[in-house]
Amino acid sequence: MRLFGILLAGMLLATGVSATAPPLEAQSDSTRTSVDRLVERYRTGRKIPGITIAVVRNGHVIKAKGYGTADLEPRELLVPHLVSTLAWVTAGVCAAVLVLGTIVTGSGPHSGDAEQPARTGFDPRSVAWLHADVVMLFVGLVVAVLVAVWLTSSSDRAKATWRGVLLVTLLQGAIGYVQYFTGLPEVLVGLHMLGASLLVVTMVLGVMNLRSNPL
């Protein structure tokens, strides 16, 4: 890096950029292209895939430019665009399930230490069923994405992640029903919260793993 800094300073001097020189943008095309040529020659000579340079003078950036490639492994979609869109819609419905879940909690006995235990004032039974109904839609969408990924992609990672999403969803749904019909025991409510957190993690991975080089 230090070597490159020295080299770049040398290149700029060689091309006529001095401490008193105007910004490179204001300089002649030939000065700018010779800087570009020098950086490119340095990059290709050392087989460096990509370089970004910034030249600062008197606290002002007088040139900032990237050369070569910024990304060795482009994030390509591993499934058709429609499947990716379906996965995003599924993630959106997942968010709706989570929001409705907190509304159910806010309508029931675990809504905090407020004097009135139910904060929202909604009928807990009705909001719980609405929450469960959207979960049904969500399960259908997760199955649809899993089948679509299975049929259209050769990525084992994408398939495994969506299998994980389905598994966590089914376990979470089962815990939800059991806790509802057994009077909301605290252990199950805690597990339901843990399941919701795990689902967020697997859903994020599910959407990300539909691309190569996801991170």
Spatial CB neighbours of 83, under 8 Å, sequence gap ≥ 6: 145, 148, 149, 152, 153, 210
Question: Does residue 131 contact residue 115 with C-beta atoms inside 8 Å?
Answer: no
Report the C-alpha gap between 20 and 203 in whole angstroms.
Answer: 55
| 21 near ligand HEM, judged by CB under 6 A | no
SS3 64: strand
Among 15, 84, 87, 131, binds ligand HEM (CB under 6 A): 131
Give the SS3 label for residue 18: coil
Among 21-29, 40-48, 153-161, 191-199, the segment contacting ligand HEM (CB under 6 A): 191-199
Binding status of residue 153 toward ligand HEM by CB under 6 A:
no
Closer residue to ligand HEM in complex, CB, 135/158: 135
User: How many residues contact ligand HEM, by CB under 6 A?
Assistant: 26
CB 192, min distance to ligand HEM, A: 5
The 73-102 contact track toward ligand HEM, x by CB under 6 A, reads ------------------------xx--xx
**Which tokens is 187 given?**
């252990």
- Measured between alpha carbons, how far is residue 34 from residues 20, 25, 68 in Å? 19, 13, 16
Measured distance CA(67)–CA(37) in Å, rounded: 10
Residue 213 neighbours by CB under 8 Å, 6+ apart: 71, 73, 74, 75, 76
For tokens 């994408």, what's the residue? 158
Beta carbon of residue 116, minimum distance to ligand HEM (angstroms, whole number):
15
For ligand HEM, the binding residue among 93, 96, 143, 189 (CB under 6 A) is 189
Stretch that binds ligand HEM, among 29-37, 68-76, 151-159, 176-184 (CB under 6 A): 176-184
Contact status, residue 173 vs residue 192, Cβ threshold 8 Å? no
Min CB(36)–ligand HEM separation in Å: 53
Contact residues: ligand HEM, CB under 6 A: 97-98, 101-102, 104-105, 108, 110, 128, 131-132, 135, 138, 169, 172-173, 176-177, 179-180, 184, 189, 192-193, 196, 199
